[in-house]
Every structure is written in C-alpha cells, then in structure tokens.
Structure 1
Amino acid sequence: MNDVRFPIGPFLPATYDAPARAALILDLATLPERLRAAVRDLDDDRLDTPYREGGWTVRQVVHHVADSHMNAYVRVKLALTEDHPTVRPYDEAAWASLPDSRLPVDVSLSLLGALHERWAALWRDLPGEAWARTFHHPASGETVRLDTALAQYAWHGRHHLAHVTALSEREGWTARNVP
C-alpha cells in the first residue's frame, strides 16, 4: 500500500469468531512491547519527526495510541456495565497538541503496558454473550459491538505501529525488525 496515512489499509469490520478474537486479543496484548521496540533507538530528533507531511510526530503518535486506547478501554467497560451507553467523543488532534504530548514516550509506553495488560485480561474472560454488547458513538452515529471494538483497536495499534516502522524504514533509521 502506498498511502502513508494508511500503511496497513483501512479498518474493515467483519464477523469475529472465538479464534479470531483470541488472535486480536494477543495482538492488543503485545502492542506495547512492539511499539516500544519500534521507538527504542530513536533520539529526540527522530521522535519529533512527522511520520508524513502534515502528520503527527512519532512522539505524538505514541501518546495518541495511549490516549485513544484509554478512551476505548473506558468505552468497553461502559458497554459491559450499561445498556447501550452513548460514549463521549474527543478531539484527537487537540489532545495531540496538549503539553503532555511532548513528554518522553516512555511515559505513554509504560501506561500502555499496564492498560493493555488489564484490557487483554478483560477481553480474555468475556463470556460469549458479552461480545454482542454495544455502545453508541455519537460522532459517527454508529452502534459498535464489542467484538468489532476489539478488532478496531487491534487494527488501530497496528496502524500506528506501521506509521512508525514505515517512517524508520523510509529514513533508514533502523534495520531491526519489529515483532
């Protein structure tokens, strides 16, 4: 795919059976370490390089993943404890411009590690009927099933990881493969 905005392609919802969900949970559980590996050797100049013209910097991408996945975790918990809750959207671009988006990436990588450990444990222990629970997203107008939310955030992590690794490859920053 040649579109640097979508290096792994767009998210395409599907039907997710138990084996597919298990693979998606593993994907989410391992994202923090894969993202950590992708930025491990990047100095501040490289972390402050946009992954594309007009795009966020690598540092902002890492912080964005933490922001996004924190919001998603809360949305999942709301869907599990309330009947079809309406979730609160947020302005991702505005969040990415806040002062905490200039912190060292290790802050968000540590947060992601703990968050994904809890999130993966929650996903793993969901009973079968829970996967059909939903929340309403007012910005998109969509009703989102939890199995679709799992797939969407697994994709989201891979999507932003690919922003970082593709930039590193284009710039020749690293020859190391990220798991």
Structure 2
Amino acid sequence: MADRTLVLGGARSGKSIAAERLLSAVPDVVYVATGGHDSGNAEWAERVAKHQARRPASWGLAETIDLVPLLESAGPPLLIDCLTLWLSRTMDELRVWSDLDRAGLVDDRIANLAAVWSSTPRRVVAVSNDVGSGIVPADPGTRLFRDLMGRLNTTISLASDEVLWTIAGRTIPLT
C-alpha cells in the first residue's frame, strides 16, 4: 500500500468514495474534514451528513485546516477531505480574496504542507478537485484560486507515492 495517496477528480466524480475505499479495512482512520461549518446552509448539512453516514463508526474525526501538526505526528492513517476546501479556507484566513497580492502567503503554506506531506510518518490519503480543465474564469480572484489549486495539486502529487484520477465513479492510477 502507498504511504501517501492523492485522489483527484472533478466535482461529484466519486473521489471521496474512492479515498474511503482505500482505507475501508483500517478501523482507526482519522477523517480530516477541512470544510468548516456553514451553519444554516441545508445543502451543506446534507452533504456532510452523507459523508458521515458512509464512514465506519470506528473512524475518528478532526475538523481543521491546520494539517501540518496532524501530518507531523505519529498515529493512525489520515483521510483528508479535501485539499480544495483547505485552499479556499486558507485563502479566507490569509485574506487573499480581498487582497490578491497576498497570494505568496498561500504559496508558502502549500510549500510547507508539501514538505510535511513528504515526510509524514502516517499513511495519508487526500482528496482534491481538479479545477483546471475547464474554462478560464472571468474574474481575477477565481483565476487565482484555479492557479493556486493547480499548484497545490501538482506539488502534492509530486510528493505522493500514488496519484489516482476519479471520473464517473471510476478510478485510474496516474503514473
């Protein structure tokens, strides 16, 4: 089994299910939810409930975007779902959306995450969206997000033992 796996795909492609399947035989996985809380949003609550219902009851849960301490520590395998939400929330935290010139701070976080990802003592599977295959976004903030997402996926992919592409519920290894 690979120690570091990245599962890529488009929206609703089945990548979370594929990632969960990779760790389904492990009883003590820590599911790392990076999405945060969107109180009052019924659609978001329904998505979260579906994810929770699929996971084994024995799996733990960490709701955070502070991935570095988790990756640096020894422990059970991690399933990080997902790096796309990590990036969006990191951009929120660093106030990049209101000042696009702060994007270098995100690049620093990506580099730090990749360094820790490369040396983690844990088995880790991360899910991420491929957002770069579509049209070029019209506004600068969305273009920046797309570009940063591409850099994040490329950086983590190159530091991974295995990269999988999921489309229409099917998973293909990338070499």
Which structure has more helix as a fraction of its residues? 1
Considering the TM-score relative to the shorter chain, is it more than 0.5?
Answer: no
Which structure has more strand as a fraction of its residues? 2
* Larger-Rg structure: 1
Q: What's the TM-score once normalised by structure 1's chain length? A: 0.33
